[in-house]
Amino acid sequence: MEKDYEALLSSIFGLQPKLTGLSDLLKPPATPLRHVPSGLGSIRNLAGPIPTTPAVPTGEPYRGIRDLLGGLSIPAPVPTPEPLGIRFEAAPGTSIKFSEPTRFYNVTVLGLSPLIDGPGLYAILVPDNNWRPRQFRAIYIGQTKDVAERPTDDHEHFNDWCNAAGGEANLYVAYHWMYGSTKQQRMAVEKQLVDRYRPQCNWPYNGLGPLLSGNSF
């Protein structure tokens, strides 16, 4: 009767009968164990897939946190752009940097003199599509003890500038400061630039000024 009861429990609940000896241990169970649903056969399946550290490609150095984060893309730093301005070559391999050209109208009519005064050079410019890379051509280059005072509509060559540019509206001016310089030093640089570019208003009788080759950069 007890055996029948144990067989009944085994068929209902998947229980195994009592083991009474070595022979019971060696023989297969009378009733198979209950089936464990697929996916629940181990603690690993219960917990889900175990994340692993991304492998570093062969031949590439380990880059630390970037590899741990799965190759997260980190943008490269953006280089700081060079301040605006225009350059003229005083001698082979030697350039003089002037400020960014501004409309001469801003100086003479609006009274917007350069923010920084002091000794230096100034260049009177006109737009010219034939010049590269900056499309400006110098029509006059001069030196002064104060760039805020000299290049104005009181300049002795102002009318020449307007005639060469086709009107004051087409005139631009750029500055190159030379702090601590003497007049002789400024005149020496001025002469280098004038000899190199031959601005037509520095050479009032040179009608070939606009045709002379040269580049501003």
pLDDT digits (tens, 9 = 90+) for 135-165: 999 999 999 999 888 888 889 999 999 999 9
Q: 31 near 11, Cβ under 8 Å?
A: yes
Residue 94's Cβ-count burial label (10 Å; 0-12, 13-18, 19+) is exposed
Nearest to 125, CA basis, from 112, 115, 106, 140: 140
What sign results for the dihedral spanned by CA atoms 61, 63, 64, 65? negative
pLDDT of 105 reads 77
Inform me whether the pLDDT recorded for 171 exceeds 80: yes
pLDDT of 81 reads 58
Nearest to 104, CA basis, from 176, 171, 46, 38: 171
C-alpha to C-alpha distance for 34 and 43, rounded to whole angstroms: 18
Mean pLDDT value across residues 6-32: 57
Phi, psi (5° rounding) for residue 127?
-65, 140
Inform me whether the pLDDT recorded for 214 exceeds 70: no
Q: 54 near 34, Cβ under 8 Å?
A: no
Residue type, 146: D
C-alpha to C-alpha distance for 67 and 57, rounded to whole angstroms: 10
* DSSP symbol at 166: T
Q: 118 near 179, Cβ under 8 Å?
A: yes
Q: What count of other Cβ atoms lies within 10 Å of the Cβ of residue 142?
A: 21
Q: 87 near 217, Cβ under 8 Å?
A: yes
Residues of the chain with pLDDT > 70: what percent? Answer: 51
Inform me whether the pLDDT recorded for 24 exceeds 80: no
